[in-house]
Amino acid sequence: FRCACVRERERERQSVGMTAGGLDEAIGKLDGLIVDMEAEAGGEVPPLRFDPNDPWAGERSLPPEYVVKVRCPKSGYLMTKPFEAQCPMPDAFVKDNSYLRGMLKPVVKPANQQVASTSGGKPGGKGGDGKKKAVAVGTVEDFTKVLFKVAKVINCEKHPNSDKLLICTLHIGNGETRQVVAGLQKYIPVSELENVLVICVANLKKAKLAGTPSEAMILASEFADSSGVDGRAVKTLVPPAGANPGDVVFLEGMEVPGAFAKQVSSKVWEKVAAGLKVKAGLAHFADKAFCLPTGKVAIPGAPEGAGIR
C-alpha cells in the first residue's frame, strides 16, 4: 500500500506543473487512490507500529504493543494511539488542498492570473497601471505645503537609454531652470511639449530615473482612450492665458501661501496626489479648483474624475 502511494505520488509530481489547478488535480488523484486501495483492503487498514514516513523508524526499537498508529478517517492524519484521541490540527490535515494553498501563497497562483502591482506611477514608470494601497486624501493644509508652479518647457528630448522617458528642461521663473525626467515619450510628441507652459511640482525630493537626475515633476492626467497608445492617453495641465513661468498655483477661494518648504515630504505629497482629479475639465484638489492670478488650470480632453499625477 505504501509503495504504491509513493510511486503514484512521484508520477504526479513529475507530470503536474506547480499551478493551482495542477495542485488540485494531483491531490485529488492521490486522495482517490488512497480511498480505492482502502476499499480493496475491505475498508480496514492494519494498525501501524510506526510512521511509514519516518526515515529513521527502522533504526529505533518499536514502541510498546499498545501504542499504534491510526489514520484519522476525516483528515488522513496519522494519530498515535492511545495518546492522541483525535487529529490535533484538523484544518491542516483535512483531505483537500486549501491548507496547502494557503501555505504556498503567493508561490502558487491560479494559471493566467496577473499579479497586481503594489506601486503606482506615471505612464512608462514603474508600476504602470498596477494597483496600489489606498492612500487617504490629504487636507488643504497638506496642499499648501506642495509648491505647484507654472513652468515653460524650453527643451525636450528622448532619453538615450529608455523608450518611455523624456528629458525636459523647465524654466520655472526668476531665471531658474530644472531638469525633469518624465514618462511621456509614448504619449506626447516632443514637438507638442517644447515651448509649452505646464504645471510642475517644484519642491519634491530629487530623484534619478534611468540614471538621469530629475529635479521636479510635470503634472499630467492619464486615462483610458481606445484611440491612444496601449489604450491610454495622457494630457498635461494647461495654465490659463496670461500665466507666466514661476506663477504659483493656489486653490479656489484661497490665497497663495507665504512660504514653502524647500522639500515636501513624500508622505504629504502622496496624500495630496490622492486628491488630484479632473472635474468639469479643470484640475482640482478635492472640491477646489487649481487657480492662478489669470484664471483656472484646465485639462482639455480629460474625462470627469480622471486622476492627476
Place of cell 487498514: 45
* pLDDT at res. 108: 45
Residue 270 has pLDDT above 90, yes or no: yes
Q: For residues 70 and 49, which has the higher predicted lDDT (pLDDT)?
A: 70
Place of cell 507665504: 258
**How far lies 187's CA from each of 130, 190, 200, 205, 248, in Å?**
18, 10, 18, 25, 26
138 neighbors 274 (Cβ within 8 angstroms)? yes
CB atoms within 10 A of CB 178: 19
C-alpha cell belonging to residue 244: 507666466
C-alpha cell belonging to residue 123: 505612464
Q: Which stretch of DSSP H or E encloses residue 33?
A: helix 20-40
* pLDDT at res. 32: 59
What is d(CA 107, CA 195) in angstroms, rounded to the nearest whole number?
50
Q: Following CA atoms 190, 194, 197, 198 in sequence, which dihedral angle do they give, to the nearest 10 degrees?
A: 30
pLDDT for 199-245, tens place per residue?
999 999 999 999 999 999 999 999 999 999 989 999 999 999 999 99
CB atoms within 10 A of CB 89: 10
pTM exceeding 0.85: no
C-alpha cell belonging to residue 73: 478517517
Residue 100 has pLDDT above 50, yes or no: yes
pLDDT for 145-199, tens place per residue?
999 999 999 999 999 999 999 999 999 999 999 999 999 999 999 999 999 999 9
Antiparallel, parallel or unpaired: β 232-236 and 148-158: unpaired
What is d(CA 302, CA 287) in angstroms, rounded to the nearest whole number?
17
SS3 at position 126: coil
Mean pLDDT of the chain: 80
- pLDDT-derived band of residue 98, with 50, 70 and 90 as boundaries? low
Residue 92 has pLDDT above 70, yes or no: no
Average pLDDT over residues 72-85: 75
Q: Following CA atoms 222, 224, 225, 226 in sequence, which dihedral angle do they give, to the nearest 10 degrees?
A: 150
